Amino acid sequence: MASDSAKDAASSLPDGSLCGHETLEDMLKAHLPKDKLEEAFRVLHGHSNCEGLASSVTLPEPAVEAAQRLEFDLQAFRFGAAREQLREPRVVRAALVQNRIVLPTTAPFAEQRSAIMSRVTEIINIAASCGVKILCLQEAWPMPFAFCTREKHWCEFAEVVPEASGSNGGDDNNGVRCNGSGSSSSSRSGSGGGGSKAGPTVDLVCELARKHNMVIISHVLERDVTHGNTVWNTAVIVGNKGNIIGKHRKNHIPRVGDFNESTYYMEGNTGHPVFETEFGRVAVNICYGRHHPLNWMGFALNGAEIIFNPSATVGGLSEPLWPIEARCAAIANSVYVGAINRVGTETFPHAFTSGDCRPAHADFGHFYGSSYFAAPDGSRTPAASRCRDGLLIADLDLNLCRQVRDKWGFQMTARYDMYRDLLDRYCRPDFKPQIVRDPTLPPA
């Protein structure tokens, strides 16, 4: 049993820390000598293709000072790739943003959203000052992750997302501009809006993208007013001209623990779209989709170079999986992966239960942050803070995707036709598993 002094020490630790440390890396640095620390990081983070561990990047001093003043974690790294003779490096500076809610969940909804928008705007502005060109926000960033409660008034946070001018993946998908980006309302139409104006966070992100020449992936609750005010869990891909390139709706909806999300929205209907931007081809595997290997594969087969995974997950449920899944997906599909998790503990006005025999409780548990990038060669960055808002930046040489494919040949040696036949048989009502039984066993 822990002593009283140990209990007192634990209670004084920062919310969500590891024995008082913001990250696993910080804890190892505090307890391992340098030579052993390097070996631990070699195993923990992996070697990159040609230069060893993902190396730190020096950022502008004003950005570092601003992060300290605003009290958020700022880290930057680079992944190396071999220098090629026939192709120039294709380095893009990408970033992940993790954020906690700013006001209590009892505050008026408009004030909650406005406070988060102000906070995230500050972080995006600093990302721009660091030269970031592709940035992804966490799942449902403008609101509390209230989907544990099953209370429907949280649907008020849902907002209209205008369609791009063509369908996802079409040849004529040039995007639409949002309210704040200089277009008339007549250019906004489609399943999200039926001519309605874009919602406030969609508008904000469009304006920031245009201002900073930055592709921004913004994850919101989407209200589809054309189709009976249906609510979707949606990632909006905003181009660096302030235009909406397209959107993707969450493919897999969890029904585990307090994740009562199917009370609010169901599985998406957009497939596995990949969005070609000025800076690279990106896709979005939203949250629970990271547990489904074929979901990652769908985006990779469609040509993604970077797959972002905006998430909201808590330590008591998924932390053993978190450091592994994005890295495995990067390896298996020869792509970069950016995994983002929200941070903090969100307490709601009314206690709830989830049919898992736990007593009624008023919070999800701690969202442990720990956002990171993984590369196609299996290397990864250190994690962002478990306790604070964070901006994690990485220089990604997209040439590494093809270099790894050439080296390992995972796609070349895959048996897609065989997988297709198996899945086709499996989806039929008369499917019979291919089990070869030992004839010496007694009758079943």
Distances 150 to 267, 379, 383 between C-alpha atoms, Å: 17, 39, 31
Token pair 């429907």 is at which residue?
152
Q: Tell me, yes or no, if 130 is annotated catalytic.
A: no
Q: Which two tokens stand for residue 339?
A: 């995994």
d(CA 185, CA 183): 7
What's the distance, CA 340 to chain centroid? 4
151, exposed or middle or buried, with CB in 10 Å at 0-12, 13-18, 19+?
middle
d(CA 280, CA 331): 19
* Beta carbons of 41 and 24 less than 8 angstroms apart: no
Q: One of 22, 25, 139, 346 is an active-site residue; which one?
A: 139
Q: Tell me, yes or no, if 139 is annotated catalytic.
A: yes
d(CA 204, CA 124): 11
Angle at the Cα of 212 (from 211 to 218), degrees rounded to 5? 90
Beta strand 372-374 with 343-352: parallel, antiparallel or unpaired? unpaired
Nearest alpha carbon to residue 219 among 191, 183, 250, 255: 250
Beta strand 390-397 with 73-78: parallel, antiparallel or unpaired? parallel
Token pair 């245009």 is at which residue?
210
Spatial CB neighbours of 273, under 8 Å, sequence gap ≥ 6: 168, 169, 246, 248, 283, 302
Q: Where are the beta strands (DSSP E) in 66-187?
A: 73-78, 91-98, 134-137, 176-177
Q: One of 148, 178, 287, 387 is an active-site residue; which one?
A: 287
Q: What is the dihedral of CA 179, 182, 183, 185, to 10 degrees?
A: 30
Q: 3-state SS of 387-440?
A: CCCEEEEEEEECHHHHHHHHHHCHHHHCCHHHHHHHHHHHCCCCCCCCCCCCCC
Q: Tell me, yes or no, if 36 is annotated catalytic.
A: no
Spatial CB neighbours of 21, under 8 Å, sequence gap ≥ 6: 27, 30
Distances 83 to 275, 305, 403 between C-alpha atoms, Å: 26, 18, 10
Q: One of 148, 250, 325, 401 is an active-site residue; which one?
A: 250
Distances 132 to 216, 233, 392 between C-alpha atoms, Å: 10, 26, 10
Q: Which amino acid makes up residue 240?
A: N
Catalytic residue IDs: 139, 250, 287
